Amino acid sequence: MTYPLGPTSITMGDPSGVGPEIIVKTLSNQPPGSRNIVFGCPRVMQRAIEVTSVNLNVKTLKTVEDATFDRNIIEVFQTSFFENLPRFGEVSEHSGKSSYDAIISSISHALEGKVNSIVTAPINKEALSLAGINYPGHTEILAKFSGVDQVAMLLGNGDIRTVLVSIHCSLSEAIKAVTFEAQMKAIRFAHDGAIALGFSQPRVAVAGLNPHAGEGGLFGKEEIETISPAIEAAKKEGINASGPWPGDTVFMQARLGKFDIVVAQYHDQGLIPVKYMGLEQGVNITLGLPFVRTSPDHGTAFDIAGKGVADAASFGMAMNYAKQLVEAKNKAKTL
């Protein structure tokens, strides 16, 4: 089985944020032969065209099979409709529901093989909650409705790539999540994810949890009791893992070329260095799904929504990564 290069499903994101704007900016610069379908509200996408002044038109699809992939048209599979368009920068139940519906429909189409990858525009978690949708974010929704138990976030920006042991939880819960099993899962995902990105023998660095990676047990025992045993077990599986390395220097070492990917113990340990490199190049990849999913590494940016100034570079990178990962899947299937 191979994965044809397209169509890619693009979820609209929260219509009150910059998602629709960065989508139309990106699609206005796609190379010939690109096959993309936006899942969302056609009226919202038309407004985004007007805000950004790009030279595109909107076409509403009844089914994804109706897509013709005309380069001058944004084809929208309608998953929601607004009689009155939501205000920019406003958190609302209706916006949360519309962004959620686009995600669910995209997952369904991906599982049916009608699209081979999903690139998601930013959503607002407060808006989801107002709509009665109680998921911390995209990753958890994608895992639930894809029927998979284990997924991981891989975030990349230039020379820095990281996989998180825990994702959307409090810091106290993240500390509890530092288990042997969680370490093994993250290390394996980091190894496989780096291979998918083109590293034949990836060097996986595992960050410590505590200051100075515990300083030999002076500042905590997790490195000795949990993280180090997992690294040794991963080595026995043939994974080139090392550590635990101090969290305050391991990403600098990765940037200098010593490591290909870093396992971070919790959300901010991994995301701060990635985002510090610049939001315009950051990409989020969900590992463990039965299809490719990527997204830009930024939020809804309500403060600039509707002004046409949102930088679409990260979304463009997410689109490029989706194509690269589909090609990698194709190559793996034909070996």
pLDDT over threshold 90, residue 292: yes
Q: Tell me the mean pLDDT in the region 291-312.
A: 95
Where residue 6 falls among pLDDT bands split at 50, 70, 90? low
pLDDT over threshold 70, residue 332: no
Q: For residues 117 and 107, what is the distance between their CA atoms, to the nearest angstrom?
A: 9
Q: Which H or E run includes 86?
A: none
Q: Fold for 8-147+291-305+313-334, please state it.
A: Isopropylmalate Dehydrogenase (3.40.718)
The pLDDT of residue 261 is 98
Q: For residues 45 and 28, what is the distance between their CA atoms, to the nearest angstrom?
A: 13
> 292 pairs with which residues across the strands?
117
- What do you get for the CA distance between the two ends of the chain, in Å? 11
Q: Is 241 within 8 Å of 187 (Cβ atoms)?
A: yes
Where residue 335 falls among pLDDT bands split at 50, 70, 90? very low
Q: For residues 109 and 75, what is the distance between their CA atoms, to the nearest angstrom?
A: 15
Task: Beginning with the edge strand found earlier in the chain, give each strand of the sheet holding 57-61 in spatial order.
Answer: 57-61, 73-78, 36-40, 8-11, 117-120, 292-296, 283-287, 152-157, 160-164, 261-264, 203-207, 240-245
Boundaries of every domain in the chain: 8-147+291-305+313-334, 158-275
Q: For residues 150 and 279, what is the distance between their CA atoms, to the nearest angstrom?
A: 27
Ranges 22-36, 268-282, 293-307: which has the least confidence = 268-282
Q: Is 127 within 8 Å of 93 (Cβ atoms)?
A: yes
pLDDT over threshold 50, residue 17: yes
- The β-bridge relationship of strands 240-245 and 261-264 is unpaired
Q: Tell me the mean pLDDT in the region 161-184.
A: 94
Domains 8-147+291-305+313-334 and 158-275 share a fold: yes
Nearest to 196 by CA among 313, 330, 318: 330
Ranges 25-34, 294-303, 322-331: which has the least confidence = 322-331
pLDDT over threshold 90, residue 297: no
The rounded Cα 77 to chain-centroid distance in angstroms is 21
Query: Tokens 């994974």 belong to which residue?
Result: 239
* Maximal C-alpha separation, the chain: 63
Q: Fold for 158-275, please state it.
A: Isopropylmalate Dehydrogenase (3.40.718)
Query: Tokens 């994810």 belong to which residue?
Result: 193
pTM of the model: 0.88
**pLDDT tens, position by position, 107-157:** 999 999 999 999 999 999 999 999 999 998 898 999 999 999 889 989 998
